[in-house]
Amino acid sequence: MQFVVVGAGIVGLAHALAAARAGLAVTVIDREARANGASIRNFGFVTVTGQQAGDTWRRARRSREIWAEVSEAAGIPVLHRGLLMAARRPEARAVIEEFARGPMGEGCRVLAPEELPPPLRHGLAAALYSPHELRVEPREALPRLAAWLEAHHGVRFLWRTHVRAVEPGRVDTTRGPIPADRVVVCPGNDFLSLFPEAIAAHRPVRCKLSMLRLSDPGWRLPAAVMSDLGLVRYLGYAGASSLPVLRTRLDAEQSGQLAHGVHLIVVQSADGTLVVGDSHHYGDTPDPFLAAETEALILEEARAVLQFPTAPRVIERWVGEYPSAAVPAFIAAPTPESRVVMVTSGTGMSTAFALAEETLASFGIAATLPA
């Protein structure tokens, strides 16, 4: 069976893996010369703790298992394991304590101030340590994953090829028709090229994020770091009865960050530099500009949580975009032979592998072979 995937971001590659493991002949088509969208612009942070209860959390746990297998097989270094959710305020400590006691807190532990590893700042109220997370360098991981799928699973890649239409038995591309018995469209933030009605049914908009890379501060992070602002943003904490009290205090003290959707994620690269973000601005066509004010708000939060020896130096800036909608992700079936798969909650690195298994199952195809 000819299985065609449109889009070579992480969602497309996850589908290529699931289909290859099921023994299908897989072709991945992307109009770019290499992955260049959200999948290489993100933190590479495969997050479990903090994901929304239900489908997203379940998918994150399954995808994390697959990342662990695949990263080893494909030679993708895992640069961090785990998450330190730093609580700056007593109100945030109450939220992480409540979370740790609940069912999604399994395996997590609240660290007292004296247990906090450097470079977390003195004076923090506590931190939640979660052991579940992985972090890869996305700009290196995506090309390696594609190369491994090609070499190890015989997946064929057609780069610089735009798919114009999905038709019975084939896809119409700028290189001509390609035979296709089943087609999965993973278009990222392109809502219009293929099956626009199926996508519009979920009313997605685009979310723009600001990202920074800071020079090596000299220390090494033991895990990815987040803070109070993440507790009110990540839906996994939404059920905590202690959350509204934190929210009220953040409204009073960090209204600038909240207005720009700023929360903190800090991860470290192999060369010691830090990837720091982010902000969230929504629209049909978000502007491409990175406001200095937004950058300052992100850096302010980073400095409140981490002990920098000198003022952090920004060495790289970029924007990323992902689709956002009321549902965290969807698998639409515009025809019996085709699917459109879109992650609409900014969690694709954390959930794509599990979503791909669901898509295959929706065709009645079971993934059978090992990674």
Ligand X SMILES: Cc1cc2nc3c(=O)[nH]c(=O)nc-3n(C[C@H](O)[C@H](O)[C@H](O)COP(=O)(O)OP(=O)(O)OC[C@H]3O[C@@H](n4cnc5c(N)ncnc54)[C@H](O)[C@@H]3O)c2cc1C
Q: Which residues bind ligand X (CB under 6 A)?
A: 6-12, 29-32, 35, 37-39, 41-43, 45, 47, 162-163, 186-190, 193-194, 209, 211, 278, 320-322, 343, 346-350
For residues 92 and 356, which CB has a smaller minimum distance to ligand X in the complex? 356
Tokens of 5: 């995937």
Place of tokens 């590659």: 13
CB of 186 to ligand X, least distance (A): 5
CB 17 within 8 A of CB 197: no
Place of tokens 């199926």: 198
- SS3 readout for 78-96: CCEEEEEEEECCHHHHHHH
Which residues partner with 321 through β-bridges? 208
For residues 31 and 263, which CB has a smaller minimum distance to ligand X in the complex? 31
For residues 9 and 119, which CB has a smaller minimum distance to ligand X in the complex? 9
For residues 218 and 283, which CB has a smaller minimum distance to ligand X in the complex? 283
CB of 241 to ligand X, least distance (A): 27
CB of 353 to ligand X, least distance (A): 11
CB of 70 to ligand X, least distance (A): 15
CB of 94 to ligand X, least distance (A): 26
Q: Quick count: other Cβ atoms within 10 Å of Cβ 289?
A: 11
Residues shown for the chain: 371
CB of 188 to ligand X, least distance (A): 2
CB 51 within 8 A of CB 236: yes
One-letter amino acid at 4 equals V
Tokens of 361: 């199952």
For residues 79 and 110, which CB has a smaller minimum distance to ligand X in the complex? 79
For residues 35 and 126, which CB has a smaller minimum distance to ligand X in the complex? 35
One-letter amino acid at 118 equals P
Give me the half-sphere count of Cα atoms (radius 13 Å) on the Cβ side of residue 196.
5
Within the chain, where are the H helices? 10-21, 38-41, 55-74, 90-101, 138-153, 196-200, 228-233, 243-253, 255-259, 292-305, 348-362
CB of 261 to ligand X, least distance (A): 12
For residues 92 and 166, which CB has a smaller minimum distance to ligand X in the complex? 166
